Amino acid sequence: MLPLTAPLVTRHGQVTGRDIVVVRIDADEGVGWGECSALPEPTYTDEFASEAFAVLSQELAPRLVRRKLSVSDLHAKVSAFPGNPMAKASLEMALLDVVLTSKSMSLGDWLGVSNISAPAGATIGIVSEAEALEQVAAFRAEGYRRIKLKISSSAGLDVVRRVSEEFPELELQIDPNGGCRPDDIARLVNISEHLSAIEQPFDPKQIEASRQLVAQVDIPIIADEPIDSLEAAQELVQNKACSAIAVKPPRLGGLVRTIELRDACLKWGVPLSAGGMLECGLGRHSLAAVAAMDGFDVAGDLSPASRWIRVDPWPDIEFDTTGELGTIAVPTGNGVAPKPDLEVLGSVTTSTTMVT
């Protein structure tokens, strides 16, 4: 269990501590690490940490042990087991870490990234107006230029308007996590002039409301909760129910699936945003490389892991405040991320299973 610097409150509930399942692969070529981003409870998705631990240790890992696998082989082996994309993504990350480290290659190189940085973005949970203004001021002073405000319904738009008036130079986004209703469309259109994007305004089933909002505003309407596959994204794009897509690689099943979705979105002309899952430093290194890929043209949830996690076994990503815009440096080290501090990792580990 990783302690948080502060609870994160969203429409889906409150996260007060971060149970993270970590996979370690010991191979002839070396050791690789992968992070499973499933949250402690089945709120945001039906996959959650303790379930992922059981699936990995009892079902997925035994299918792979003592086999020489490529990343494509791994996907073929686990595809027969339905669901659990975040558990599968952690295996892919660990295997990629082994392969890339043995080849002295960074994840950014493997993804074909040419950018050296990606825009940083801070997220603020559901808080009072006074707390929102205080937190935005603090992030502005730290060097952030993009802030995303979580709201539970259209009632939170008054806070958004106040923040916009106080900090007109910032790039503001809102994320109701599906909490708005179709009769909120007029208010969302009205507030859109103060925003750079709106993420998941309506319940995923309210396709028509999303279509109407997309047709009436000039800013990206980002789909998030429904995006768990290429097919889900394609359906929304074809129905014109979004104009941008939040990509969370663990929810897709890993980076191979992320590349497939990115390539499709480039063909469709749909911009992408990198979405975070309260990862530790391990997962944040991967997210920083993804956020710098071509096609990720909407600033996403990219901030150092220390924004939320107080004790982290992995080194953090680098936040650069020297330029005009706050940015995160694309990691250039071999593998997915630097290796963890094993002593710190041991101090926060609550359970382990070895599969041989």
- Residue 90 vs residues 85, 181, 211: alpha-carbon distances, Å: 9, 35, 34
The answer to whether residue 285 sits within a structural domain is yes
Q: 128 and 78, same structural domain?
A: no
Does the pLDDT value for residue 154 go beyond 90? no
Confidence of residue 135 (pLDDT cuts 50, 70, 90): very high
Which pLDDT score is estimated for 284? 97
Q: 285 and 151, same structural domain?
A: yes
Residues contacting residue 79 through CB under 8 Å, at least 6 positions apart: none
Q: Report the pLDDT averaged over residues 208-216.
A: 98
The answer to whether residue 73 sits within a structural domain is yes
Q: 156 and 85, same structural domain?
A: no
The answer to whether residue 195 sits within a structural domain is yes
Q: 116 and 88, same structural domain?
A: no
The answer to whether residue 229 sits within a structural domain is yes
The answer to whether residue 89 sits within a structural domain is yes
Q: 134 and 18, same structural domain?
A: no
Does the pLDDT value for residue 19 go beyond 80? yes
Which pLDDT score is estimated for 80? 82
Beta strand spans in 11-70 (E): 13-18, 21-27, 30-36
Which pLDDT score is estimated for 272? 98
Asked if 236 and 265 touch (Cβ cutoff 8 Å), the reply is: no
Which pLDDT score is estimated for 69? 81
Element holding 2 (H helix, E strand): strand 2-10
Q: 315 and 220, same structural domain?
A: yes
The answer to whether residue 84 sits within a structural domain is yes
- Computed over every residue of the chain, the mean pLDDT equals 93
Confidence of residue 156 (pLDDT cuts 50, 70, 90): confident
Which pLDDT score is estimated for 227? 97
- Residues of the chain above pLDDT 90, percent: 79
Q: What are phi and psi of 96, to 5 degrees?
A: -60, -40
Which pLDDT score is estimated for 222? 98
Does the pLDDT value for residue 186 go beyond 70? yes
Which pLDDT score is estimated for 63? 87
Does the pLDDT value for residue 16 go beyond 80? no
Q: 343 and 293, same structural domain?
A: no
Alpha-carbon gap, residue 18 to 67, rounded angstroms? 32
Which pLDDT score is estimated for 51? 94
Domain that holds residue 63: 2-104+339-348
Q: How many domains does the chain have?
A: 2
Does the pLDDT value for residue 17 go beyond 80? no
Asked if 277 and 284 touch (Cβ cutoff 8 Å), the reply is: no
Q: 72 and 187, same structural domain?
A: no
Which pLDDT score is estimated for 323? 65
Q: Which of 15-19, 230-234, 261-265, 309-313 has the lowest mean pLDDT?
A: 15-19
Nearest alpha carbon to residue 93 among 51, 48, 36? 36
Q: Which of 15-24, 84-93, 182-191, 276-285 has the lowest mean pLDDT?
A: 15-24
Q: 219 and 86, same structural domain?
A: no
Confidence of residue 324 (pLDDT cuts 50, 70, 90): low
> Where residue 33 sits, what CATH number does that domain have?
3.30.390.10
Note the pLDDT tens digit of each residue in 102-134: 999 999 999 999 999 999 999 998 889 999 999
Asked if 262 and 295 touch (Cβ cutoff 8 Å), the reply is: yes
Q: 194 and 138, same structural domain?
A: yes
The answer to whether residue 322 sits within a structural domain is yes
Q: Report the pLDDT averaged over residues 16-40.
A: 92
Q: 156 and 247, same structural domain?
A: yes
Tokens of 343: 């002593």
The answer to whether residue 209 sits within a structural domain is yes
Confidence of residue 194 (pLDDT cuts 50, 70, 90): very high
Does the pLDDT value for residue 241 go beyond 90? yes
Which pLDDT score is estimated for 1? 77
Does the pLDDT value for residue 36 go beyond 90? yes
Q: Report the pLDDT averaged over residues 271-299.
A: 96
Q: 151 and 16, same structural domain?
A: no
The HSE-up count of residue 90 (CA atoms within 13 Å, CB side) is 26
- Residue 259 vs residues 38, 93, 121, 173, 352: alpha-carbon distances, Å: 21, 14, 22, 25, 31
Confidence of residue 188 (pLDDT cuts 50, 70, 90): very high
